[in-house]
Amino acid sequence: MPPVEPNAGVWGALLSACRVYHNVEIGEIASKHLLEIEPENAGNYVLLASSYAKARKWKQVECVRGLMKSRGTTKSSGFSQIEIGGRSHKFRIGDIPNHLSGEDLVSK
């Protein structure tokens, strides 16, 4: 069986593993290939920045964020969804709906 050319999934898995196991050097190699294949995928930049942050390489974190900005790549914010009293409530991080208080979320 001939070897398979690595695709974005392979490079992304390698970058993710490098973040988990604190291998910034190999992660940089993986991210170089990954950002060439998928320059518009904000998740790849976030994963690289997270790898640098975990290694306390703050200058590199800022460089990655700057690269995202220069390329016009933005990360969409996530949201949470909970059910209270049979009603579903969906909100973004730091944005508790007006009709719910923090106490409501904890007590129910």
**Model pLDDT for residues 1-15, shown as the tens digit of each residue:** 668 789 999 999 999
**Whole-number pLDDT of residue 82:** 80
- pTM equals 0.70
Q: Are residues 81 and 58 in the same domain?
A: no
Host domain of residue 48? 8-71
Largest CA distance in the chain: 60
User: What band does 108 get if pLDDT is binned at 50, 70 and 90?
Assistant: very low
pLDDT surpasses 70 at 90: yes
- Cα-based distances in Å from 10 to 30, 34, 93: 9, 9, 30
Q: Are residues 19 and 48 in the same domain?
A: yes
Q: Are residues 33 and 59 in the same domain?
A: yes
**Model pLDDT for residues 29-62, shown as the tens digit of each residue:** 999 999 999 999 999 999 999 999 999 999 999 9
Q: Are residues 64 and 87 in the same domain?
A: no
Bridge partners (DSSP) of residue 31 are none
The pair phi, psi for residue 38, each rounded to 5°, is -130, 70
Beta strands in 1-108 (DSSP E): 79-84, 87-92
User: Of 16 and 2, which is predicted with more confidence?
Assistant: 16
For residue 2, is it within any domain?
no
Cα dihedral sign for 83, 84, 88, 94? negative
Helix (H, G, I), strand (E, B) or coil at 16: helix
CA–CA separation, 47 vs 19, rounded Å? 8
Q: Are residues 83 and 60 in the same domain?
A: no
Domain tally, the chain: 2
Q: Are residues 31 and 45 in the same domain?
A: yes
CA–CA separation, 76 vs 40, rounded Å? 12
